[in-house]
Amino acid sequence: MITLRSIVRGNRSKERRPAPFPGWWRVALLVAGASWTLAGGCSSKSKFEFDELDLVPAHEELTEFSLGQYAIPIPIAGGRPGEKQTRSNRVQFDFKLFALVKRDQESRIADAWERHEGKIRDRVIRVCRNASLDELEEPELATLKAHLMDAVQAQLGDKEVRQLLITERDSQQL
């Protein structure tokens, strides 16, 4: 029978099984395995699949196309939860809007902008005025940009506009 005292003293009964390898064999196997692994790893140069991406040029070069500067008063729902909601212009949202487009499509976008500038500006203003306060306070304005992208692509082309950029953003209470 194994007791706590016999374990502490190192005296175990006859039920003790012999170790498969003596202690020095374990150390020798670990050292041999480690050296084999290190020797094999150092002798061949591994090739990572992302190494070649550093050498590949960008698939498409994009340029910024200005879609104007905006100063839009935004109506925000006010009032208490139980009362009728009233709308009042309480926030003015100022920003510059840019579209990222391919360089070879820039002249086509310029022509479409010249023809449809009024419609595009109206749509941008409508999307911003219908945006919630939460959408206007998002750090990256992802929801607002998605709605603006839908509005702009209808006039400028679905595949030409890659992304929208909003710069010099400022919100002021009125």
Which amino acid would we find at residue 116? H
**Fold assignment, 62-173:** Tetrahydropterin Synthase; Chain A (3.30.479)
| Cα distance between residue 136 and residue 140, in whole Å | 9
Contact 103, 63 (CB under 8 A): yes
Of 164, 153, 136, which is closest to residue 65 (Cα–Cα)?
164
Residue ranges of the domains in the chain? 4-51, 62-173
pTM greater than the 0.75 cutoff: no
Write out the chain's pLDDT in tens, 174 residues: 555 455 445 555 555 555 555 566 677 767 777 776 666 555 555 566 666 666 655 566 888 999 999 999 887 765 455 555 555 557 888 999 999 888 888 889 999 999 999 999 999 999 999 888 888 888 889 999 999 999 988 888 777 888 898 998 888 776
Contact 108, 150 (CB under 8 A): no
